[in-house]
Amino acid sequence: MERVRIACPRYLNTAPLTEGLEKLDGVELTRTVPSRIGEMLASGQVDIGLCSVADAATMRTPPALLPVGAIGCDGPTLTVRLFSMVPLHEVRRVHADSDSRTSVVLCGLMVRALHAVNPVMVEFDARERVAVGADGCVREAEFPEAMLLIGDKVVSDCPPGGGYRHQLDLGEAWKRVTGLPFVYAVWMCRAAEAGSATVRTVAAVLDRQRRRNAMRLGWVADGRSAEHRWPTGLAREYLGSLLRYEVGPRERLAVDRFLSMSAEAGLLPRREAAWV
């Protein structure tokens, strides 16, 4: 296989899709935060990316979605969670983890649907605990009144539980509102290259690797939990029970529903997902 550049999030939840890829000849794997991957794909820095679903509507170079693997759930997610010191119907501002656009949009949709409020989303660097205001100024926000956290930080850097008595798992909320699974990220390529031999070959490799890892999820969790600072037992439950990695008809329907609801709410531009 000729050299192909692949980008994926650097969280534990990607391991069932990416474990073993870096050992394959011709694969150059870059791990970064989800919010960067869409731009890396659009600008040609990578050939395929495990992109946030919101990127399907916002990428300046239209993407095509590859139904060979995704990060999703069919109920609770655990690692996409709203923490609040006040009851959720009183939330007016959410310091939103800037690592994922999809989770920020989902948070806005679910708080509106379940609690009839439309909070202001404040860009929040959850690792450094600083917020970026509307004026572009950076301010410290050690423990804001309400904050959205995603990924490993929910487990490895969880806020004090006593202060955040009100929480909302956004995967569970989406299931309650729509009855559908949720898809946070899916493999994507640039639409103009969707029919190329390289993309077809890499898509087959990604599908094969996902199927192989599905048969050894316990081993994957045991091998990756320590570097992400997860308890091994919780990592096994997370990868083996809470998350979903396949793309079927219900997952495609969920992506379509999310994009349409987000467009109707004015949270994303209106664009339909283009599946290969």
Q: What is the pLDDT of residues 73-101, one digit of tens each?
A: 999 999 999 999 999 999 999 999 888 89
Predicted pLDDT at 136: 47
Go through 254-272 and write b for each residue having 16 or more CB atoms within 10 A of its CB, e for each that does not.
Answer: bbebbbebbeeeebbeeee
Structure tokens at 164: 């955040």
- Say how far residue 138 (Cα) sits from the centre of its chain: 25
Position 151 pLDDT exceeds 80? yes
The DSSP bridge partners found for residue 64 are 189
Within this chain, domains 4-72+181-264 and 80-178 share the same CATH topology: yes
Task: Return the domain boundaries, the chain.
Answer: 4-72+181-264, 80-178
Architecture of domain 80-178 in this structure: 3-Layer(aba) Sandwich (3.40)
pLDDT tens for each residue of 101-133? 999 999 999 999 999 999 999 988 765 554 544
Q: List pLDDT tens digits, range 19-41.
A: 999 999 999 999 999 999 999 99
Give the model's confidence band at 225: pLDDT under 50 very low, under 70 low, under 90 confident, else very high.
Answer: very high
pTM: 0.92
What is 4-72+181-264's CATH topology?
Answer: D-Maltodextrin-Binding Protein; domain 2 (3.40.190)
User: For all residues of the chain together, what is the average pLDDT?
Assistant: 92
Predicted pLDDT at 158: 78
pLDDT, position 97: 86
Asked whether the CA dihedral 22, 28, 30, 34 is positive or negative, the reply is negative
Query: What is the Cα–Cα distance from 263 to 104, expressed in whole angstroms?
Result: 14
pLDDT band at 11 (very low <50, low <70, confident <90, very high): very high
